[in-house]
A = this chain, B = another copy of it.
Amino acid sequence: MNATERVSQWLAHLDAALQRKDIAAAAALFEEDGYWRDLVSFTWNIKTSEGTGQIQAMLQATLDRVQPSNWKIDGAATEADGVTEAWFTFETAVARGRGQLRLRNGKAWTLLTTMVELKGFEEARGETRPKGVEHGPFKGRQTWKEGREEEARSLGYTKQPYVVIIGGGQAGIILGARLRKLGVPAIIIEKNARAGDSWRNRYKSLCLHDPVWYDHLPYMPFPDDWPVFAPKDKVGDWLEMYTKVMELNYWNSTTCKKAVFNEKRQEWEITVDREGREVTLRPKELVIALGVSGYPNVPKIPGADTFEGDQFHSSKFPGAENYRGKKAVVLGSNNSAHDICAALWEEDVDTTMIQRSSTHIAPSDSLMELALGGLYSEQAVKNGIDHHTADLIFASVPYKIMHTFHIPVYDEMKRRDADLYSRLEKAGFLLDFGVDGSGLFMKYLRRGSGYYIDVGASELVANGSVKLRSGVNIAQIKPKSVVLSDGTELEADLIVYATGYGSMNNWLADLISPDVANRLGKVWGLGSNTPKDPGPWEGELRNMWKPTQVPHLWVQGGNLHQNRHYSQFMGLQLKARYEGIPTPVYELAPVHHTS
């Protein structure tokens, strides 16, 4: 049998075992430590079952209701290094799915099942795209424009949305687009005046460090001449356009004052200030999309209130233009710190970076080539891997073993960029590659921080153009200077706290209540027992894109790739509830940490 036949046979065996409810037989098709990652289709959750024990438990709980069938290989299987890979489709009672399989020695090493669409609620696209106008003569027709105007007048006033999304950055916008396509009425609440302002309002040199192929929004990919690294204002304009073209109900200049869940009516009561007027929204489901890097973390340093210069968290840093010839101290050594130090240097500001702990430096070119190139690049597209496929390949690797896929990449990076790393260390910079050498993406998943995608600032640190003090902190701030933990003192006109962000649930203490904030718990991280990601092991990102311990409260966020991909599953979970389709959640993740 060739690889394709072996896969077809394996799928047939799985199908048969599941049909006759022989859970033990189904589990036996897996390696003992094999993985089954399910995105919604079986578990109505984002859930990885690790090992045959967990796989059996999952099937025990879900099989009867899910009624999976029609498992079919899609395309040909491929084989490399003893691993056979293939795509397949399948169905459940209520949905159609797509998945990926890795076989080793006839048994499943990894299986990914994802829900693609709900039967009877498919998005109207391609052949089923809306007609746009009802042809034929009839009276009382409502034009598209009239329909939109009526919606703008009524939604949130005389007609309540099913979902409210708090936060109109790329996460909220992307989820909003999914919900629109699925026909789930939603309103997005955005404090700024224009969609895209969360980008426009940043310091002027800000650009995406993720390359374009990684960043496409759903439904409307960037055109093929879009720059590799988009400048902030161009991104802002695209988001603004997208919000309009996708026909989102986007409330600008609107802030959320309070949200309370009305248990009796089983709906949220969300009080917002919309351009000065108070409106109460009553959705059934509430999504917070306030940024995985949204809640600024500013350390309280003695004497900060005596400082006579300017001080900003990195998220509020206005730009370096007003500080020419002055002295800046940047506390922090990760992405924002480097970006801002480079911006300051470019404006001839005397800049010192205070590095408290080690940072992983990943040079952009190397990252693009070694880490992303196979999946998100011009070459990948040429090889037939578009971003849809790349997203699924990415999703098919269980978090538990993901680091093993990445370690060789960063080993190669160490070799390729040895010169830069050596010079950085000579300059006193504290380098790491993650505690297990798995590099940038694992640090991102585990703690959302601790790295810098080098687009030029590392050279400034290595050659001393940006001064560096490492292994120290700021112990005290005085009117015109900072005192470091080693006792030395630095004059300063500007302090930038590039000190990262806290968990998104922090916002909820004021927005809803401290109790709800704690019940939701920490957002992000895997429970890997690595710095800033305490155990126990979660297996999936805490609270992301799935049901939480607070009924009817959800979290949307992540980078553009994650928002693009996982908004699909958020959309389906919300659509199912909107349509009254039963969504029994398998193993709702417990909360182990509140921040």
A125 at interface by CB-CB < 8 Å? yes
Collect the chain B residues with CB atoms within 8 Å of residue A347's CB. 139
- Interface of A (DSSP majority class): loop
Contact of A229 among B126, B131, B219 (CB under 8 A): B131
Collect the chain B residues with CB atoms within 8 Å of residue A181's CB. 225
Closest residue of chain B to A131, judged by CB?
B228
Collect the chain B residues with CB atoms within 8 Å of residue A205's CB. 141, 143
Q: In angstroms, how far is the closest chain B Cβ from the Cβ of A557?
A: 24
Q: Would you call B228 and A237 a contact (CB within 8 A)?
A: no
A532 at interface by CB-CB < 8 Å? no
Contact of A132 among B230, B245, B346 (CB under 8 A): B230
Collect the chain B residues with CB atoms within 8 Å of residue A208's CB. 132
Q: In angstroms, how far is the closest chain B Cβ from the Cβ of A180?
A: 9
Which of A286-294, A457-465, A482-490 lies on the face that meets chain B?
A457-465
A244 at interface by CB-CB < 8 Å? yes
Collect the chain B residues with CB atoms within 8 Å of residue A459's CB. 136-137
Q: Would you call B228 and A143 a contact (CB within 8 A)?
A: no
Q: Would you call A204 and B136 a contact (CB within 8 A)?
A: no
Question: Most chain-B CB neighbours within 10 Å: which of A130, A135, A241, A460?
Answer: A135
Collect the chain B residues with CB atoms within 8 Å of residue A245's CB. 223, 237-238, 241
Closest residue of chain B to A138, judged by CB?
B346
Alpha-carbon gap, A204 to B347, bound state (A): 53
Interface size in chain A (residues, C-beta < 8 A) = 62
Alpha-carbon gap, A459 to B345, bound state (A): 72
Q: Would you call A129 and B234 a contact (CB within 8 A)?
A: no
Contact of A133 among B131, B135, B220, B455 (CB under 8 A): B455
Alpha-carbon gap, A232 to B144, bound state (A): 9
Alpha-carbon gap, A123 to B225, bound state (A): 8
A580 at interface by CB-CB < 8 Å? no
Alpha-carbon gap, A578 to B427, bound state (A): 50
Q: Would you call A345 and B137 a contact (CB within 8 A)?
A: yes
Collect the chain B residues with CB atoms within 8 Å of residue A125's CB. 224-225
| Complex copy number for this chain | 2
* Interface residues in A295-353 (C-beta closer than 8 Å to B): 342, 345-348
Closest residue of chain B to A227, judged by CB?
B132
Q: In angstroms, how far is the closest chain B Cβ from the Cβ of A126?
A: 5
Contact of A224 among B126, B138, B241 (CB under 8 A): B126
Q: In angstroms, how far is the closest chain B Cβ from the Cβ of A277?
A: 26
Collect the chain B residues with CB atoms within 8 Å of residue A263's CB. none
A140 at interface by CB-CB < 8 Å? yes
Collect the chain B residues with CB atoms within 8 Å of residue A456's CB. 135-137
Alpha-carbon gap, A455 to B364, bound state (A): 54
Collect the chain B residues with CB atoms within 8 Å of residue A229's CB. 131-133, 135
A226 at interface by CB-CB < 8 Å? yes
* Interface residues in A81-138 (C-beta closer than 8 Å to B): 123-127, 129-133, 135-138
Alpha-carbon gap, A488 to B229, bound state (A): 70
Contact of A207 among B133, B219, B378 (CB under 8 A): B133
Alpha-carbon gap, A224 to B143, bound state (A): 21
A415 at interface by CB-CB < 8 Å? no
A212 at interface by CB-CB < 8 Å? yes
Alpha-carbon gap, A241 to B245, bound state (A): 8
Q: Would you call B455 and A346 a contact (CB within 8 A)?
A: no
Q: Which residues of A contact B (CB under 8 A)?
A: 123-127, 129-133, 135-141, 143-146, 148, 181, 204-205, 207-208, 212, 219-220, 223-234, 237-238, 241, 244-245, 342, 345-348, 364-365, 378, 381, 455-457, 459-460, 465
List of 10 A-B pairs having minimum Cβ-Cβ separation, nearest first: A132-B227, A144-B231, A145-B233, A132-B229, A136-B456, A241-B241, A135-B455, A137-B456, A125-B225, A130-B227
Q: Could you list some 27 contacts between A and B, CB below 8 A?
A: A123-B225, A125-B225, A129-B228, A131-B229, A132-B227, A132-B228, A132-B229, A132-B231, A133-B207, A133-B229, A133-B231, A133-B455, A135-B456, A136-B455, A137-B456, A139-B345, A139-B347, A139-B348, A140-B346, A143-B231, A144-B234, A145-B204, A145-B231, A145-B232, A219-B225, A238-B245, A241-B244
